[in-house]
Structure 1
Amino acid sequence: MFPDTAGRITDDDTPDVMLGKLRAKLDGREAKTKEWNSLYDGDRPLKYASPEFTDQSGGLFEGFSDNWCKTVPDTVRERLAIVAFHGEDGTPDKEAMRAWRRNHADVEVGLAILDALVVARSHALVWNPSGDASDITFIPSGQAIVDYVPGSRNARRAGLRVWSDGSHEFATLFTRAFNGRPAMAYRRQRTMGGGSWTPRTIGIPTSEKTDLVNPIGEVPLIEIANRARLHGAPQSEIASVAPLQDAVNTLWAHLFTAADFAALPQRVVMGMDKPVKDLIDSATGDIIGEEDVPLGQYSKDRLLWLSRQGASIGQFTAADLTAYLKVIDVAVRHIAAQTRTPPQYLLGEMANIAADALEAAESGLVAKAMDKQLHFGSDVREIMRLEALASGQQKRAASLAMGKVLWRDAQYRSEAQYADALTKYKAIGVPDEALWRMIPGIEPEQVDEWVRLRDAQAAAAASAAATAFAGFGPKDQGDDEEAEPDEEAAA
């Protein structure tokens, strides 16, 4: 075995040592996770503003954000909807879909994928606490971590899930079967704020063991990763948006400030002293000094009295704010280009766009969504394989491992476009069931119902036809034999 490096777990580590290393690695991700979450929520201070501007504006723009870091991942996630699971033979796995819905995964998987797009990863845990129906739980990035076998991106060596109740922190460490040791689940707890991990006693029966043999036989924690390259960690979808987002926010702040001070023509009084008023002693009535008259009062009253001969009024023209808008427009177009987000999603430019032009504008987003379907589909397929193992169905698990996840079409089309395409597929001999599955939003159960109704309709039509033409067939042979004696008697 290669020598271990600092912080990296090995199969020879004790459970508590392994837990500590994984917890430290999870803590190392916390700062970046918080940053991406803050960007998505629009909580981002001005980054490119000078100290002088910041001092002048104070906290005026503290809560403002023209938030494209939310639009970009939301636009992709809207194109990622799971429709069905197919086994190795290409037929729908109805049991997998029932388990999927039973665990509300059809809803929560969208949240997990969104988390993966925003903070680079989320997680799913497959467990079977009752020995009957398995549970699928989706977990945010800050509460789970998966460690892989060195040299592999898929073979899970260990996994850690952590959570708290406000006073205690809980952890479950999952390890793989190795060197004669079975796959295990170690449950631990400690007080909030640190301390050593101890066997868990809170929330479980006293008669129940703390360390459990994992009946699935594998690490049941799956990382749902937003993958980008072969090497390196998963990446946030808004990593490239953040710098441009900061620039846009700063430009808007400067624009608003310019609009407040220079958007209107500014007037200046020339050849006249600054206006003052006398300070009078209330007791003696004597003038004891003078004080400045606030210039804002003249602007408020829209009145200025020029008392000195030769005084005049000059005017500065209003500032042109379109320069700011042009730069902001370019920055947003850069966001659209780098993230393959259609410009109409960011700029609202969608008036009188032909269908072909709209399809071309969305081609980059569609290709990006299909790529995400491929990578996220691999993780979801692994989740359902573990669900089948947890349910004790090894054969179905093997079929799902070689099967595929069916997603809703990433390309938005009108009903007329779908009808035209399906009609053309029908003309070249594609079966009805295959055509029905291509319709967006149609689930396997509905296709099965259509097949049943079609077969019932065909059977009813065949029965009606048989009844209608029953009198036109050949006569019964028995009737002819009975008629022969009568004919002889008549002769």
Structure 2
Amino acid sequence: MADASPAALARQLLAILHKDGDRLRRIDDYLHGRHDDPYMPPQADDEYRLLARRAVSNWMPLLVGTPAQALYVDGYRPGQAADGLPAAVETTTPEWAHWQRSRLDARQAAVYRGALTYGHSFTVTEKDAAGLVRTKGLSALKTSALFEDPANDDVPYAALTVTAWPSGETRGRARMWDARYEYAVTFRGLVDETGLAVSRVRRHGSTECPVTRFASLVDLEGRTLGVIEPMIALQNRINQTIFDLLVAQTYASVKVRTATGMAPPIKRDPETGDPVLDENGNPIPLPINHNARRFLFAEDPDVKFGSLDETPLGGFIDSVDMSIRHLAAVSQTPPHHLLGQIANLSAEALLAAETALSRKIAEFRTAFGESWERVFRLAAELSGNRGSEDYQGEVIWRDMESRSLAQAADALGKLKEQLGIPAKGLWKRVPGVTQTEYENWEELSEEEDSIRQLSTAITRATSTGELAEAA
């Protein structure tokens, strides 16, 4: 870097927010159902525009929520214990205490959803006013980070998050971190260099920037990509097809009755019987009260009645179904998640349908797991623990696969009997078991072992005494 001063870093970070702002706001609009209008003729009236608004069928939250609901960190295994042996997963480490203090059991979901939506999200790990270490999420819409190698580095050399946007004469405010200090930043605009002011606040306590990036996909150019942006074109196609369906359904889905050679009745003066004329001298026609319970007849034999067929809607419905299937294939989302068609599917068919989704979730877990491991190292450093250099630690993801307890018990029993795997080694594979439950089972097992050993010792002592008396 030619200029690494705090003011120069702040200018670069604000410029990144300005550059990415339009793209990220467009993604945010599509997530919340604010989509581009389908094509309409230039002279479209209010009824057309109402149908266009009703044509929006927002599939984006499902594309984000489906993989996000399978991402849940349930524990952390340090690389080594104090004795140098591989450490067991436990919830009594200072790193996991920081996790619970930050309420990340619930708040981790927002980090994943942000990364899946925009391509990246952030967390900051720091000490609070009471000196306790906490981690909180930061929005991609308000946060930017600088990397020397954005494709390969997991440690930014500077990061900034906006806490208040500028409004009128009120300046915007932001927090910025580098490898040693935290700074307070005020600015008039994202590209207004004259209104920028940076002041040092404190030393944050880490040896590197305390902001961690969570990226769902990073290419070798350092660009991040979420699950929404590639799907915008398909979402627009679905909206257009549904709009065409609504137009056809509104204007052309019923038979049109026609009559030729017959003039409508006209309004007449009740006293004279003469036609009542409008301001242009034309007779005023009377409205015809016609509905499904009434029929028309004419005395004139030259009157012809007919009908115009309705527009078939099946083609529009098939087109919507096809577009949704394309969306499922491109996004690696099982079709039954989008279409709701799950009847008559065997367990093997369901497993095959969810294979692509499982692979995508495994990719996300690998990427997000590395980010959480850095968060745990930062928390250990701020807490003064040796885990700050632990690059062998790993997060434990909850098994979210849908298996019945009976199936799992049968499979685990066979693993124990046929392969000789110890029972304790299979406890973690019980569906839905949490780390706290696992530790509770270990304590209960140790208590049972102690009671069993005591009972065995008493039995042996009693048997030995009886044999001695008999002798």
Counterpart mapping for 1:112-151 below 5 A: 112-130=111-129, 132-150=131-149
Structure 1 stretches lacking a partner, 5+ long = 1-9, 177-182, 201-209, 484-491
One-letter amino acid of the structure 2 residue matched with residue 159 of structure 1? A
Indicate the residue corresponding to 2:157 in structure 1: 157
Shift of 1:469: 4.3
From the superposition, tell whether residues 374 and 154 of structure 1 become closer, same or farther in structure 2 (CA, over 3 Å). same
Pick the aligned partner of 1:213 from 194, 203, 218: 203
- Quick check: 1:327 aligned with 2:319? yes
Deviates more, 1:106-115 or 1:261-270: 261-270
Pick the aligned partner of 2:308 from 306, 316, 330: 316
One-letter amino acid of the structure 1 residue matched with residue 181 of structure 2? M
Q: Is the 8 A contact 1:19 1:173 kept in 2?
A: yes
TM-score normalised according to structure 2 size: 0.87
In 1, Cα distance between the equivalents of 2:210 and 2:184? Answer: 14
In 2, Cα distance between the equivalents of 1:240 and 1:381? Answer: 29
- Quick check: 1:95 aligned with 2:94? yes
Counterpart mapping for 1:402-481 below 5 A: 402-427=392-417, 428-473=419-464
In 2, Cα distance between the equivalents of 1:396 and 1:286? Answer: 98
Shift of 1:276: 5.7
Q: Is the 8 A contact 1:132 1:391 kept in 2?
A: no
Indicate the residue corresponding to 2:262 in structure 1: 272
Pick the aligned partner of 1:229 from 219, 224, 242: 219
One-letter amino acid of the structure 2 residue matched with residue 326 of structure 1? D
Shift of 1:235: 0.6
In 2, Cα distance between the equivalents of 1:190 and 1:215? Answer: 26
Q: How many residues align?
A: 453
In 1, Cα distance between the equivalents of 2:3 and 2:188? Answer: 27
From the superposition, tell whether residues 228 and 269 of structure 1 become closer, same or farther in structure 2 (CA, over 3 Å). farther
Pick the aligned partner of 2:253 from 250, 263, 267: 263
Deviation per CA, 1:389-419, whole angstroms, max 9, x where unpaired? Answer: 11121x21222x2211111124322212222
Indicate the residue corresponding to 1:306 in structure 2: 298
Structure 2 stretches lacking a partner, 5+ long = 80-85
- Quick check: 1:251 aligned with 2:248? no
Q: Aligned to 2:322, what secondary structure does the other structure show?
A: helix
- Alpha-carbon RMSD: 3.0
Shift of 1:66: 1.5
Deviates more, 1:441-450 or 1:165-174: 165-174
Indicate the residue corresponding to 1:169 in structure 2: 172
In 1, Cα distance between the equivalents of 2:187 and 2:21? Answer: 20
Indicate the residue corresponding to 1:81 in structure 2: 72
One-letter amino acid of the structure 2 residue matched with residue 436 of structure 1? W
Indicate the residue corresponding to 2:110 in structure 1: 111
In 2, Cα distance between the equivalents of 1:215 and 1:243? Answer: 46
One-letter amino acid of the structure 2 residue matched with residue 344 of structure 1? H
Indicate the residue corresponding to 1:380 in structure 2: 372
From the superposition, tell whether residues 22 and 294 of structure 1 become closer, same or farther in structure 2 (CA, over 3 Å). farther
Deviates more, 1:432-441 or 1:229-238: 432-441
Q: Is the 8 A contact 1:184 1:212 kept in 2?
A: yes
Deviation per CA, 1:95-136, whole angstroms, max 9, x where unpaired? Answer: 222211110111111111001111111110011244732121
Q: Is the 8 A contact 1:117 1:226 kept in 2?
A: yes
In 2, Cα distance between the equivalents of 1:410 and 1:11? Answer: 48
One-letter amino acid of the structure 1 residue matched with residue 115 of structure 2? A
Structure whose alpha-carbon radius of gyration is higher:
1
Indicate the residue corresponding to 1:186 in structure 2: 183
In 2, Cα distance between the equivalents of 1:397 and 1:421? Answer: 39
Indicate the residue corresponding to 2:197 in structure 1: 198
Q: Aligned to 1:84, what secondary structure does the other structure show?
A: strand
Q: Aligned to 1:141, what secondary structure does the other structure show?
A: coil
Shift of 1:17: 2.2
In 1, Cα distance between the equivalents of 2:379 and 2:2? Answer: 25
Q: Is the 8 A contact 2:70 2:400 kept in 1?
A: yes
In 2, Cα distance between the equivalents of 1:294 and 1:253? Answer: 35
